[in-house]
């Protein structure tokens, strides 16, 4: 097995300590068991590993570089480095696990991949992988989100995916999940439900982590080659937690490497519905088929969540993060909307790199750590590029940052 598929956790039932597992109806459990078995086979199959490696190199453009951000470093008194996942084909880290999932589906003889999407980022990455590998792709999306995220809807349709509108309830992500789940249950044998982060029932938190762990494997080698050392600190934003697990997984045994995840504090931690800081404000619980920290209301239902970065507003978090938090191996903090937007402009103007607002949270967290006295090197996972966010940012924050309307 290559390093990408060699990790001590989870155990065979999918547990990271007390977190993870699989809490789903019995008929679905049989399907998950099949997926797990197929995954156990292919992760040891040299032809699968070779195919994935070929796609990473020649299609995604891996390895993504590490860049020493000198101006940011000088300003904040730390050596700040960026792992440039924003330079991947499709502009973010999600393509790493979508290719793995679609390849798995193909090896299992499935003809279609299916998923829900909120802002459309997971939908576009999955539609891309499905187009490349010749599988059908159904993306369920709330009607409200379809109107809001028009460019991503157009991308998915150009790529040949079917975008299916969820028209009930609030017509957003939760309804899209219901709709996709119902369609999956109707035929779980010819389709694979491709989960978009290190969440959901076993084996998805493990599988998505393994596919993303290429980030950390590369970063460890690249950083050592550049500096002769390991980084002193790692920083990544945490929505479901896939880009963070991808980076962290290669350094878990290195005691000298401090790890920092950051969640969105949105408009403030004090009010329910104004943030998505699951690890800071949530409690252990079970939802969406797995046990982890979650933000729940009095009835035990998922709380409303919010972040200026739509990729980070999830009311739970990957079970390995819950485990690493309890162990104290990773420190989890929060970054507000305002701090993330300030970092968005700072990285753009100091380094000429426009980050995704999600990734700007990680940049803001690194800046906060430096301001609070952290020294040495900080390696930030720059999970995606900001092209998708520019209109929103200028419309809502342009004036504040000196961009007057040209119209």
Ligand X SMILES: *Cc1c(COP(=O)(O)O)cnc(C)c1O
Residue 20, sorted as left (phi over 0), alpha (psi -120 to 50) or beta, turns out to be: left
Residue of 237, 247, 330, 363 that binds ligand X (CB under 6 A): 237
Cα separation, 191 vs 59, in Å, equals: 24
Residue 376, sorted as left (phi over 0), alpha (psi -120 to 50) or beta, turns out to be: left
Residue of 242, 278, 316, 377 that binds ligand X (CB under 6 A): 242
Annotated active-site residue in 85, 101, 116, 263: 116
Residue of 20, 200, 239, 264 that binds ligand X (CB under 6 A): 239
Does position 173 interact with ligand X (CB under 6 A)? The reply is no
The dihedral sign for the CA sequence 348, 364, 206, 172: negative
88, 63 contact by CB (below 8 A) = no
Does position 333 interact with ligand X (CB under 6 A)? The reply is no
Instruction: Tell me which residue has its CB nearest to ligand X.
Output: 384
250, 223 contact by CB (below 8 A) = no
Cα separation, 54 vs 49, in Å, equals: 9
**Active-site residue flag, 281:** no
Cα separation, 68 vs 91, in Å, equals: 20
Interface region with ligand X, contact rule CB under 6 A, candidates 21-29, 322-330, 342-350, 351-359: 351-359
Q: Which two tokens stand for residue 132?
A: 């490349």
Whose tokens are 């990271």? That residue is 16
- Interface with ligand X in residues 9-68 (CB under 6 A): none
Give the x-and-dash track for 372-401 against ligand X (CB under 6 A). -----------xx-----------------
Cα separation, 34 vs 39, in Å, equals: 8
Q: Which two tokens stand for residue 27?
A: 């008929």
Closest distance to ligand X from the beta carbon of 63 (Å): 18
Crossing angle between the packed helical segments 121-133 and 94-107, to the nearest 10 degrees? 40
Closest distance to ligand X from the beta carbon of 229 (Å): 26
**Active-site residue flag, 116:** yes
Annotated active-site residue in 307, 316, 377, 383: 383
Residue of 231, 311, 315, 319 that binds ligand X (CB under 6 A): 311
DSSP string of 188-222, one letter each residue: TTTEEE--SSS-SSTTHHHHHHHHHTHHHHHHHHH
Does position 142 interact with ligand X (CB under 6 A)? The reply is no
Residue of 62, 83, 84, 94 that binds ligand X (CB under 6 A): 94
Q: Give the binding-site size for ligand X (rule: CB under 6 A).
A: 18
**Active-site residue flag, 94:** yes
Output 31 or 356, the one with its CB closest to ligand X.
356
Annotated active-site residue in 83, 94, 106, 171: 94
272, 298 contact by CB (below 8 A) = no
Give the x-and-dash track for 109-138 against ligand X (CB under 6 A). ------------x-----------------
Does position 260 interact with ligand X (CB under 6 A)? The reply is no
Residue of 123, 203, 231, 240 that binds ligand X (CB under 6 A): 240
Does position 249 interact with ligand X (CB under 6 A)? The reply is no
Does position 358 interact with ligand X (CB under 6 A)? The reply is yes
Q: Which of 77, 44, 83, 80 is nearest to 65 (CA)?
A: 83
The residues that touch ligand X, with contacts defined as CB under 6 A, are 92, 94, 121, 197, 237-243, 311-312, 356, 358-359, 383-384
Active site residues: 94, 116, 383
């Amino acid at each position: 097995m290559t390093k990408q598929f060699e990790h001590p956790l989870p155990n065979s039932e999918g547990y990271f300590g007390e977190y993870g597992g699989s809490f789903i109806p019995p008929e679905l459990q049989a399907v998950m068991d099949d997926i797990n078995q197929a995954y156990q086979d292919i992760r040891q199959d040299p032809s699968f590993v070779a195919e994935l490696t070929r796609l990473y190199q020649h299609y995604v453009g891996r390895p993504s570089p590490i860049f020493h951000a000198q101006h940011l470093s000088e300003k904040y008194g730390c050596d700040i480095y960026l792992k440039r996942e924003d330079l991947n084909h499709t502009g973010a880290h999600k393509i790493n696990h979508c290719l793995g999932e679609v390849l798995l589906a193909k090896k299992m003889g499935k003809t279609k991949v299916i998923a829900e999407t909120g802002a459309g980022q997971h939908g576009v990455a999955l539609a891309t992988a499905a187009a490349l590998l010749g599988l059908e792709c159904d993306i369920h999306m709330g009607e409200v989100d379809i109107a809001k995220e028009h460019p991503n809807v157009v991308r998915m349709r150009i790529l040949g995916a079917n975008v299916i509108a969820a028209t009930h309830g609030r017509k957003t992500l939760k309804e899209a999940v219901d709709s996709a789940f119902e369609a999956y249950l109707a035929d779980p044998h010819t389709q694979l439900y491709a989960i978009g982060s290190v969440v959901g029932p076993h084996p998805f938190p493990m599988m998505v982590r393994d596919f993303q762990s290429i980030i950390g494997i590369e970063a460890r080698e690249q950083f050592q080659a550049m500096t002769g050392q390991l980084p002193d600190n790692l920083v990544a934003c945490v929505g479901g937690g896939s880009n963070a697990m991808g980076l962290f997984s290669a350094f878990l045994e290195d005691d000298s490497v401090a790890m920092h995840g950051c969640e969105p504090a949105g408009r403030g931690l004090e009010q329910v519905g104004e943030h998505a800081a699951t690890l800071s404000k949530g409690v252990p619980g079970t939802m969406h088929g797995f046990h982890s920290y979650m933000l729940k209301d009095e009835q035990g239902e998922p709380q409303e969540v919010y972040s200026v970065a739509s990729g980070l507003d999830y009311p739970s978090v990957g079970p390995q993060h819950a485990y690493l938090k309890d162990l104290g191996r990773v420190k989890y903090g929060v970054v507000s909307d305002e701090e993330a937007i300030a970092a968005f402009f700072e990285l753009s103007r100091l380094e000429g790199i426009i980050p995704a607002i999600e990734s700007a949270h990680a940049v803001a967290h690194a800046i906060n750590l430096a301001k609070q006295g952290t020294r040495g090197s900080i390696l930030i996972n720059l999970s995606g590029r900001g092209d998708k966010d520019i209109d929103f940012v200028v419309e809502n924050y342009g004036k504040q940052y000196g961009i007057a309307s040209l119209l």
